[in-house]
Amino acid sequence: MTGNVRVALIGCGRIAQVAHLPALEKAEGVDLVAVSDPSADVARAVARRYGVPSAYTDQGEVFADPSVEAVIVAAPDRFHHAIAAAALAAGKHVLVEKPLASTLEEAEALADLVDRTGLVLQVGAMKRHDEGVQYARRFVVERVGEVRSFNAWYRIGDLRPGIEATLFPHVAADPAARQVEAGFKADRRRYLLATHGAHVFDTVRFLLGDVTSVIARHREDGKDQTWQVLLTTPSGAVGTVGIAVDVPGVPSEGIEVFGSTGTVRVDTHFPFYRRASTVHAYADGVTSVPELTDGDAYERQAEAFARSIREGGPPVPDVHDGVRAIRLIEATAAAVESGAEVEL
Amino acid sequence: MTGNVRVALIGCGRIAQVAHLPALEKAEGVDLVAVSDPSADVARAVARRYGVPSAYTDQGEVFADPSVEAVIVAAPDRFHHAIAAAALAAGKHVLVEKPLASTLEEAEALADLVDRTGLVLQVGAMKRHDEGVQYARRFVVERVGEVRSFNAWYRIGDLRPGIEATLFPHVAADPAARQVEAGFKADRRRYLLATHGAHVFDTVRFLLGDVTSVIARHREDGKDQTWQVLLTTPSGAVGTVGIAVDVPGVPSEGIEVFGSTGTVRVDTHFPFYRRASTVHAYADGVTSVPELTDGDAYERQAEAFARSIREGGPPVPDVHDGVRAIRLIEATAAAVESGAEVEL
Amino acid sequence: MTGNVRVALIGCGRIAQVAHLPALEKAEGVDLVAVSDPSADVARAVARRYGVPSAYTDQGEVFADPSVEAVIVAAPDRFHHAIAAAALAAGKHVLVEKPLASTLEEAEALADLVDRTGLVLQVGAMKRHDEGVQYARRFVVERVGEVRSFNAWYRIGDLRPGIEATLFPHVAADPAARQVEAGFKADRRRYLLATHGAHVFDTVRFLLGDVTSVIARHREDGKDQTWQVLLTTPSGAVGTVGIAVDVPGVPSEGIEVFGSTGTVRVDTHFPFYRRASTVHAYADGVTSVPELTDGDAYERQAEAFARSIREGGPPVPDVHDGVRAIRLIEATAAAVESGAEVEL
Amino acid sequence: MTGNVRVALIGCGRIAQVAHLPALEKAEGVDLVAVSDPSADVARAVARRYGVPSAYTDQGEVFADPSVEAVIVAAPDRFHHAIAAAALAAGKHVLVEKPLASTLEEAEALADLVDRTGLVLQVGAMKRHDEGVQYARRFVVERVGEVRSFNAWYRIGDLRPGIEATLFPHVAADPAARQVEAGFKADRRRYLLATHGAHVFDTVRFLLGDVTSVIARHREDGKDQTWQVLLTTPSGAVGTVGIAVDVPGVPSEGIEVFGSTGTVRVDTHFPFYRRASTVHAYADGVTSVPELTDGDAYERQAEAFARSIREGGPPVPDVHDGVRAIRLIEATAAAVESGAEVEL
């Protein structure tokens, strides 16, 4: 096929309205032809706002719609596997929000399906499409030399709600659905590790490759949670990952990598500032700071998805990356439980 | 009257779609009840997107609409005076984009009208509603002591188009209208000084009060323009204002103020990052950096406008501030022309 | 006694000439009355430069000198215990460079001696006298609330030799002695963990109190070394400490602490810039950055030592802090060896 | 001649002890063979500390000493001309502290003498030997394109005395001489413009070349002084220079340059931190920050002086640069006086 990829968005809740819809409206190579949400009001509201031809309340209609080539799954995590599996079965390419699935078994089942169908499945770890993170990756490969140690962090600051209130557009919502979802996030410890770990572990893997083992400690203070994780890679690099929700102040996310010939530090901004990560890349006596302007990682993610479909390259990240991110999340949880080092 | 102020937006071009409409959708105390644009397609597109009840192509319909209490004038600069005057004549409160008018005479005529009608006229120098600029102003009053010198700058970097392409939503436009407008911006020297000077001179006045005299030098390089201005205030503070369009790199805007007991530096971000200015405020051995989250100056401007209408305080900035900003722009142009100091 | 404390400096090598002698020349409350070094040339050179009345080659002469009230021990680490013990036995107060001693046994023996003699023994972990670190400590106590997590780091950058060449004064040296000392540093792994760990672990303890357990991973690359350590405190705070020698680029040292109501980050400069640590202290919506000017931690350390002697308060850090820093160093080495968590 | 240049230091006051003596002790290519100061105590103290063979109280002895090839003039400004002229007459090369002389006439007389004798005369505007300033200069030449505007500043913060107290070594002084000198600095307005202007105007000229005209405003508040200056260059670049003594807070000194293809910002640290200026150099989408370690500008200045003598290249800056810096200082004073633009 040629021309823009005809995409449907399944699940029109907050992340869809805040991230995907504004991105899809502008992304090159993509036409948003349908949206689907259990709430007819929400589906209609977003379709009207973004001029989308079809608004469904049953995702089965999406799969049956022959004009739809690909779906973006932005429904709650627990539905990722079922929707993605049904989409693949219906011959649609899939971009599924991270985490790929709720359990490792579900994630591996999706990997099997992808292998069998030959369709494109991309995981929505959109930081891999952050222009700054991509610059850092090239710098790691070309200038940093042998990676020896690293530190990554993902800290949600308690000022985030105010920032969200400013950056987020008005969101059409179904109050009943919101309440149901809140219930499913009630196991905060599991939910937060999965939702934030999916980002930070994927970024570690994107820059540094696989992880061999983890040791982890966790602390719970009412609704606040902290994980400190010690990781090793196959090449013997030793690193740390810190995840904290909430800490006082502004959110902070990033990674610093120390190699034999260079170092690089990535400071990733709250995504709805639409700024590429700020990168400080040091080698040979000079710190280079790229001034990057193409900062909507969701838009770049959608464009990359369309290119994978049309041009045939592997999606970034692919289903196996999605599986490995979940394996790291589960290994971290197990390491907290046992107190011991967990091999992957 | 009580309840939300019923507002109409006149002029639905780029600044309306990028700044005002997203802000009005979320601003407290405001209901957007009508939009007006010469292009029916544009008027309808924005009305549909933002769920606005009425879409007019003739601003006369706005003035005749009894449900409209106030108008926001986002039409091109050369129409500001006529639209604002007609709105006041029709008994509507007005928020008019900066600069208040195209000439000092027009601006002063509006000031007379405001005095006669007793209606609210607020000028859209929205930086006064930037939470960081407001923090800086309080700091100047309370901690900086006697102001002795200052430097302000407004530099458009050549990376701005890429940043705009990322931050701006899809904009509905009438290609014919765009071409007409480009023609009116053809006197770049006059246009750029007016459009950027309106911001930077208003910020100087907001923080420091009036200006007594200006000396200015200008340089033109193809489409690029630079002004360097030396200013004095009634209290004898000596300052500089630099305006440059374009410089290589990222945009940069700000002011630093040096007083007898403190100093403050304000770095103002490109407004569509929706971040409050970053402020470094020094006194008594400590630099304080407020971490501000309410960063949409257009939304805060609309809310302040509504409060002025409902609660009766003076608008910020008011029509006299708008007049004085134009006086500074014209004095700067005259100082460039003559080479001599121009008293205000 | 009253008046300035009469101090002798034992060991006039590099750290003495670079740090202690310039500090002692200016420190309030201190008179440097004697120096001692095995090299007569070195002892005489520094005595001449700093106008010191007595230059000895045998430290026994120092202990026998009744005009000496206190000694500063800047000899190589392996002599710390013997010299400090002899000084205490001779009734002299002691400021001993960190680490307190070469082994835990030696360190504990010094603690016993201090308890028996009632003399002042201060350990030269001079970061406790860094005005920025002290600000951070007060902030942790007063504003940060319950500490939940932290990260500390001590990374020697490969640009350090150039920085040292610039900052260090001309150093008088005995080439033979230098070669002997280099041999004693040949077990780099042990040496580097002790010499750098003594700082970073002491700073962790100064800000956060004791440590309950450590898990550690280590990596060796030729002369380069990396440790990543996971720590817990009695209150359940979970933290990391990273030590790396060398990494490409500039040196970096600091700690960040996350509590229930505030956070603080300390960036400690290479000490011979004589700058207090830069502190970013966040609570209640504002980041405070103290602008500190009294930045010679060695001078402040000497002045604090003199005050302890004259005014009677406990030295900072005291011998027990010195013991615990060594215990943490040894626990880290053991944790690397065993791979398991080591309780303290 | 070959081997190290044999140098004498004339004037052993504060700047000599704080800046020149530590630099000369380490500088390559230089041997300090004599010092001279009207106070015999001071001359002897510094000779002892730095191991200098001869300590004179009469500078005539320096000129008569055949072992002296070159002199560094660190006496008070009003003696610069007489000492430098006598040194040249005696066949000695000269490095004279900035400003070159007290008046333009004196400065021009020195230029004549240099032309007649063919000896090396270097002016002590040591910022030209700051590794960061040199990097910036190369960047201006190679990457910034046509320079269009610039801003330079030199602000002494009121925290400077505390910083000096920390960074300065113990200074041997003659109290009577100090009091005499204070008297000569009593015309603060003239003194401050000369002493600080000599730096900032020379840096402007080093990076950007000559200045065509200045307009200046001045403000006096008790002991505090502020100048704001508007400058143009032959190529039409328009710039500002701000000088302020004191402002609240930390000292700040630097320059930013905006060209057609790049920009560069230089932040110059208080010199006794011995750090090269921090440079942010932007072109082609990347900001480069060189990590520079050779940061003692006084030491680099002395080494450059020695190379000019031995290898024959022009001194940096030379006597004509020194003349032009004074011309800019006098033009600025005249522009303040008259209120009008002063051509150079």
pLDDT tens readout for residues D224-242: 999 999 999 999 999 999 9
Helix, strand, coil: what percent of chain C each, to 5? 45, 30, 30
Mean pLDDT of chain C: 96
When CB atoms are compared, the residue of C159, C167, C293 closest to D162 is C293
Which residues in chain D have Cβ-Cβ distances shorter than 8 Å to B283? 248
Which residues in chain A have Cβ-Cβ distances shorter than 8 Å to B273? 273-275
Q: Cα C70 vs. chain centroid, distance in angstroms? A: 18
Q: Are the C-beta atoms of residues C246 and A256 closer than 8 Å to each other?
A: no
Which residues in chain C have Cβ-Cβ distances shorter than 8 Å to B288? 286-289
Which residues in chain A have Cβ-Cβ distances shorter than 8 Å to C262? 248-249
Which segments within D189-340 are labelled E, that is strand? 213-221, 224-232, 238-247, 252-259, 262-268, 278-283, 286-290
Classify residue B36 as exposed, middle or buried by CB count within 10 Å of its CB (0-12, 13-18, 19+): buried
D215 has a chain B CB within 8 A of its CB = yes
- Which is more confidently placed, A234 or C2? A234
The shortest C-alpha distance from D261 to chain B (Å) reads 6
Residue A318 in any domain: the answer is no
Longest dimension (CA), chain C: 59
- Percent of chain B past pLDDT 90, that is, above it, reads 95
Cα A237 to Cα C47: distance, rounded to the nearest angstrom: 48
Check C282 against A248: CB less than 8 A apart: yes
Distances (CA, A) of C333 to A334, B292, C66: 26, 44, 42
DSSP per residue, C109-170: HHHHHHHHH---EEEE-GGGG-HHHHHHHHHHHHTS-SEEEEEEEEEEETTHHHHHHHHSPP
* Lookup: tokens for B154: 């407004």
Same-domain check for residues B119 and B136: no
Which residues in chain B have Cβ-Cβ distances shorter than 8 Å to C292? 285
- pLDDT over 70 at A1, yes or no: no
Same-domain check for residues A93 and A139: no
Cα C20 to Cα C299: distance, rounded to the nearest angstrom: 8
D163 has a chain B CB within 8 A of its CB = no
When CB atoms are compared, the residue of C289, C291, C292 closest to B289 is C289
Same-domain check for residues D118 and D135: no
Domain with C158, as residue range(s), is: 128-295+325-343
- pLDDT over 80 at B293, yes or no: yes
Query: Nearest-CA residue of chain B relative to C287?
Result: B289
Check D26 against C169: CB less than 8 A apart: yes
Check D242 against B341: CB less than 8 A apart: no
Residue B320 in any domain: the answer is no
Cα C18 to Cα B332: distance, rounded to the nearest angstrom: 56
Residue C334 belongs to a domain with what CATH number? 3.30.360.10
pLDDT tens readout for residues B257-276: 999 999 999 999 999 999 99
Position A178 scores a pLDDT of 83
Check A293 against B22: CB less than 8 A apart: no
Query: Nearest-CA residue of chain B relative to A274?
Result: B167
Number of domains in chain B: 2
Same-domain check for residues C169 and C222: yes
Same-domain check for residues A171 and A67: no
Residue among C148, B277, B270, C259 nearest A249 (CA): C259
pLDDT tens readout for residues C158-215: 999 999 999 999 999 988 888 888 887 778 899 999 999 999 999 999 999 999 999 9
> At D35, which amino acid appears?
V
Which residues in chain D have Cβ-Cβ distances shorter than 8 Å to C22? 169
- What is the β-pairing status of strands C93-97 and C70-73? parallel
Q: Cβ contacts of residue A76 below 8 Å, gap of 6+?
A: A11, A13, A181, A184
Q: Cβ contacts of residue A228 below 8 Å, gap of 6+?
A: A216, A217, A218, A240, A241, A242, C149, C230, C238, C239, C240
Sign of the alpha-carbon dihedral angle for C152, C157, C161, C167: negative
Q: In what order do the strands lie in the sheet with D93-96?
A: D54-56, D30-36, D5-10, D70-73, D93-96, D121-123
Please, what is the Cα angle at C89 between C87 and C91, to 5 degrees? Answer: 75
Chains that touch A (3 or more CB pairs under 8 A): B, C, D
**DSSP bridge partners of C154:** C243, C253
* Lookup: tokens for B116: 């006669």
**DSSP bridge partners of A263:** A258, A282
Distances (CA, A) of B96 to A249, B76, B78, C56, D263: 36, 11, 12, 83, 36
Position C226 scores a pLDDT of 98
Residue whose structure tokens are 């490409």 = C248
Check B162 against A293: CB less than 8 A apart: yes
Same-domain check for residues A97 and A197: no
Q: Are the C-beta atoms of residues B203 and A56 closer than 8 Å to each other?
A: no
The shortest C-alpha distance from C134 to chain B (Å) reads 15
Which residues in chain D have Cβ-Cβ distances shorter than 8 Å to B260? 221, 224, 248
**Straight-line distance from the first to the last Cα atom of chain A, in angstroms, rounded to the nearest whole number:** 40
Cα D108 to Cα D100: distance, rounded to the nearest angstrom: 10
Residue A12 in any domain: the answer is yes
Position C336 scores a pLDDT of 97
pLDDT tens readout for residues C287-309: 999 999 999 999 999 999 999 99
From the CB of residue C50, how many other CB atoms can be counted at a distance below 10 Å? 18
Which residues in chain A have Cβ-Cβ distances shorter than 8 Å to D286? 288-291
Check D288 against A286: CB less than 8 A apart: yes
Same-domain check for residues D252 and D158: yes
Check A248 against C226: CB less than 8 A apart: no
Mutate to test the interface with A, among B24, B247, B293, B300 (most CBs of A within 10 A): B293
Instruction: Give, to the nearest 10 degrees, the angle between helix A80-89 and helix A104-117.
Output: 10
Q: Are the C-beta atoms of residues A313 and D318 closer than 8 Å to each other?
A: no
Cα A5 to Cα A3: distance, rounded to the nearest angstrom: 6
Residue C149 in any domain: the answer is yes
When CB atoms are compared, the residue of A282, A285, A289 closest to D286 is A289
Please, what is the Cα angle at A46 between B12 and B160, to 5 degrees? Answer: 50
* Lookup: tokens for A109: 């089942």
Residue C231 in any domain: the answer is yes
Residue B319 in any domain: the answer is no
Which residues in chain C have Cβ-Cβ distances shorter than 8 Å to D51? 48
Whether the bond between C53 and the residue before it is cis, its omega within 30 degrees of 0, is: no
Residue C69 belongs to a domain with what CATH number? 3.40.50.720
Average pLDDT of the segment spanning C251-275: 98
Which residues in chain B have Cβ-Cβ distances shorter than 8 Å to D227? 238
Query: Nearest-CA residue of chain B relative to C290?
Result: B286
Same-domain check for residues A19 and A152: no
* Ranges of H-type helices in B143-244: 160-167, 175-184, 188-208
Check A221 against C341: CB less than 8 A apart: no
pLDDT band per the 50, 70, 90 thresholds, residue B1: low
Residue whose structure tokens are 């010092």 = D35
Residue D39 in any domain: the answer is yes
Check A240 against C244: CB less than 8 A apart: no
Cα A161 to Cα A223: distance, rounded to the nearest angstrom: 15
DSSP per residue, B131-148: HHHHHHHHHHHHTS-SEE
pLDDT tens readout for residues B13-48: 999 999 999 999 999 999 999 999 999 999 999 999
**Straight-line distance from the first to the last Cα atom of chain D, in angstroms, rounded to the nearest whole number:** 40
DSSP state of B341: -
Check B283 against D221: CB less than 8 A apart: no
Same-domain check for residues A88 and A135: no
Same-domain check for residues B54 and B166: no
Average pLDDT of the segment spanning C58-76: 97
Q: Which of residues 259-298 of A touch D (CB under 8 A)?
A: 280, 282, 285-292
- pLDDT over 90 at D68, yes or no: yes
* Lookup: tokens for B15: 């600044």
Q: Are the C-beta atoms of residues A115 and A50 closer than 8 Å to each other?
A: no
Same-domain check for residues B83 and B226: no
Q: Are the C-beta atoms of residues D292 and D313 closer than 8 Å to each other?
A: no
Query: Nearest-CA residue of chain D relative to A286?
Result: D290
Mean pLDDT of chain B: 96
* Lookup: tokens for C50: 């700093």
Check D260 against B239: CB less than 8 A apart: no
Which residues in chain A have Cβ-Cβ distances shorter than 8 Å to C219? 148-149, 236-238
Average pLDDT of the segment spanning B53-63: 97
Classify residue A187 as exposed, middle or buried by CB count within 10 Å of its CB (0-12, 13-18, 19+): exposed
Q: Are the C-beta atoms of residues A240 and A152 closer than 8 Å to each other?
A: yes
Residue whose structure tokens are 């544009």 = B42
Residue C320 in any domain: the answer is no
Same-domain check for residues A79 and A211: no
Check D289 against A291: CB less than 8 A apart: no
Check C248 against A258: CB less than 8 A apart: yes
ipTM: 0.96
Mean pLDDT of chain A: 96
Which residues in chain A have Cβ-Cβ distances shorter than 8 Å to D294? none
pLDDT band per the 50, 70, 90 thresholds, residue D1: low
**DSSP bridge partners of C215:** C230
Cα A29 to Cα A308: distance, rounded to the nearest angstrom: 11
Size of interface B-C (CB pairs under 8 A): 30
- pLDDT over 90 at C26, yes or no: yes
Residue among A293, A255, A250, A254 nearest A274 (CA): A293
The shortest C-alpha distance from A193 to chain C (Å) reads 16
**DSSP bridge partners of A95:** A72, A122
- What is the β-pairing status of strands C121-124 and A252-259? unpaired
Cα C308 to Cα C314: distance, rounded to the nearest angstrom: 6
D249 has a chain C CB within 8 A of its CB = yes
Mutate to test the interface with D, among C28, C158, C289, C293 (most CBs of D within 10 A): C293
Sign of the alpha-carbon dihedral angle for C29, C32, C37, C39: positive
